[in-house]
Amino acid sequence: MAAVRNKFLVSRESSQFVSAASLRVRLDWFNKLRWGAAAGILVAVTVTNVYLSQSLPLIPLLVTTGVLLLLNLGYVLRNQRLAPKDIDAELRLVKLQMVGDLLVLTTLLNLTGGVENPLLYIYVVHVMLASLLFKGSEIYQITWLAIFLFTAEVMGEYLGVLPNHHLLSAGALTHELPFISVSLASFWMVMLFCAYMGASIMKHNRSIKDELVEQQAELVKADKAKMDFFRFVTHEVKSPVNTAQSAVETALELGSGKMSPAVEDMLTRAVRRLQQATEIVKDLADLTRGGMLKKENLQVVDLSRLVDRLAARLRDVADRSGQKIVLQVPDEPVVITTNLSMVDKIITNLVSNAVRYNKDGGQVDVALTSERKVVLLKVADQGIGIAPEDQSRIFEEFFRSAEAQKKTTLGTGLGLAIVRKFVDDLGGSLKLESEVGFGSTFTVSLPRAPGKALAPKRDKRTMS
């Protein structure tokens, strides 16, 4: 009840749509644009004054361009020295830049024909940008400032308060009231319309973004709850299953030769099923282990040697169904810093899956390639393949495709879930290509060093 009421009472402010870093990328781009604009002004002034026999006021134009250059130099230096951390600080800068740009723009317009100059479109660009970046009243502050500046400029020229610098032969327009009124009216309308449209679209976008962020957090929470549950069950089931298996194995051992065949058969079946249960417990323990990587669990691993060794271990199983495991491993060591037991598990699970679901007499290709920042491990079989609709589910816990179940009753349905989790934990990525009846190829990309995957330093659990 309380929770429901809160949902209505707490009016949360929506988040910003852009991040400080992504905004900075665009701001740097705008700085470049400003250099271009200054160069453009100089070229335009030269062209009009020399070739079009116009006499635009050279000195004021140069001074204004100089101001623009100085301002821009300030922005560039500021961006170089300050890392983009605080989105509010970045947005304050944007506002300042917009005010500066609008003042420079108005001055330039005044020097180059005012209402006669079509470059007044640039006001609209500013309002559009403001409506994308700012919220609520801030958008209208910029919009009204632009409207005020342009209206003041046009009326100033009309009333003779500001000097006229006519553009080409358009001289008379500045003093024609009907033209000015229509220009100003459409200007106001376009500006306010843009501000309103941008503001309402972005408000909608922001609420969608907030919803997605919230849902993402819910998903993470649900996943954690699931893992906690698995961990709990594993812990509780582990000992009884172990002890029961030991009991039955001991009974078989002690009674060997003294039991009726029927009893021995029962106990053998029981052991086999308990071994299955133990496999599930082991897999669940793997799946729920860890969390983030800890520095003390990392070591330097030569993947070439590890792949060699693991493949050798699985050759017997492959031989039994006439399969070949073909390795394509560089001669030189492929060295990465990682968690050995997790990588071991990833490779073992992928290769033993490939062998398990391959066709009899088929081939399993295991290829290791080394790139600059990552190493790629590719495991390909020629087996049953995975239907497109199953490909996203294959990494879920306990999911086994219908074909896989038909092929064998072995398998806990946890192998690929473990692979996905460990690849994630190690900061890598995983790709699956598969065609039903032709086989599957899993490609794991692992970083040479764990980098971001590493847990921030915390107080260590000590053992002794």
- Cβ(250)–Cβ(271) below 8 Å: no
What are the structure tokens assigned to 129, written together? 């940008």
Taking phi first (over 0 means left), then psi (-120 to 50 degrees means alpha), and beta for anything else, what does residue 427 get? left
Nearer to other proteins, 362 or 427 (CB): 427
CB of 385: closest distance to other proteins in angstroms? Answer: 32
The Cα 250–Cα 248 span in angstroms is 5
Site string for other proteins, 169-208 (x = CB under 8 A): ----------------------------------------
| E-assigned strand segments in 13-64 | none
Tell me how crowded residue 357 is: count the other CB atoms within 10 A of its CB.
22
Nearer to other proteins among residue 167 and residue 267 (C-beta): 267
Cβ of residue 317: shortest distance to other proteins, in angstroms?
20
| C-alpha distances out from residue 390 to 166, 352, 357, 394, 402, Å | 71, 20, 15, 6, 9
Count the neighbouring beta carbons within 10 Å of the beta carbon of residue 94.
Answer: 20
179, two tokens:
């033209």
Query: What is the closest distance, in whole angstroms, from the C-beta atom of residue 231 to other proteins in the complex?
Result: 5
Spatial contact of 359 and 383, defined as CB atoms under 8 Å apart: yes
In the complex with other proteins, which residue's Cβ is closer, 20 or 271?
271
Say which DSSP state 454 is in.
B
Q: Which is nearer to other proteins, 98 or 423 (CB)?
A: 423
Which listed residue (4, 59, 402, 463) binds other proteins by CB under 8 A? Answer: 463
Tell me whether residue 5 or residue 461 sits nearer to other proteins (CB atom).
461
CB of 242 to other proteins, least distance (A): 4
Question: In whole angstroms, how close is the CB of 282 to other proteins at the nearest point?
Answer: 5
Torsion of CA 347, 350, 351, 357, to 10 degrees: 170
Contact 205, 17 (CB under 8 A): yes
Instruction: Name the residue nearer to other proteins (CB basis): 149 or 274.
Output: 274
Residues 6+ apart with CB under 8 A from 274: 241, 244, 245, 248
Q: How far is the CB of 253 from other proteins (least distance, A)?
A: 5
Angle between helices 340-357 and 415-425 (to 10 degrees): 150
Nearer to other proteins, 49 or 337 (CB): 337
If the CB atoms of residues 260 and 462 are measured against other proteins, the closer one turns out to be 462
At closest approach, how far in Å is the CB of 283 from other proteins? 9
| Helix H or strand E encompassing 403 | helix 402-407
Total of residues contacting other proteins (CB under 8 A): 32
Q: Quick check: 425 binds other proteins (CB under 8 A)?
A: no
Q: What string marks each residue from 432 to 461 as x (binds other proteins by CB under 8 A) or -?
A: -----------------------------x
CA 281-413-221 angle, to 5 degrees, is 75
End-to-end CA, the chain: 49
For residues 327 to 356, the per-residue mask of contacts with other proteins, x marking binding by CB under 8 A and - elsewhere, is: -------------xx---------------
Beta carbons of 37 and 101 less than 8 angstroms apart: no
Q: Rounded to the nearest whole angstrom, what is the least distance from the CB of residue 277 to other proteins in the complex?
A: 10
Provide the token pair at 347. 């490779």
Closest CA to 184 of 146, 148, 137, 151: 151
Q: 272 to 301, contacts with other proteins by CB under 8 A?
A: 274, 278, 281-282, 285-286, 288-291, 297, 299
Closest CA to 138 of 149, 123, 126: 126
CA atoms within 13 A on the CB side of 261: 0
Instruction: Supply the minimum distance, in Å, between the C-beta of residue 322 and other proteins.
Output: 30
The residues near 6 (Cβ < 8 Å, ≥ 6 apart) are: none
Q: Of 37 and 293, which has the nearer Cβ to other proteins? A: 293
Question: Given the DSSP bridges, would you call strands 429-435 and 363-370 parallel, antiparallel or unpaired?
Answer: unpaired
* Residues in region 243-272 near other proteins by CB under 8 A: 243, 245-247, 249-250, 253-254
- The site string for other proteins over 218-247 (x = CB under 8 A, - otherwise) reads -------------x--xx--xx-xxx-xxx
At its nearest, how many Å lie between other proteins and the CB of residue 342?
A: 9
Q: Which of the residues 385 through 424 are near other proteins (CB under 8 A)?
A: none
* Residue 451 C-beta: closest distance to other proteins, Å: 20
Q: Which residues bind other proteins (CB under 8 A)?
A: 231, 234-235, 238-239, 241-243, 245-247, 249-250, 253-254, 274, 278, 281-282, 285-286, 288-291, 297, 299, 340-341, 461, 463-464
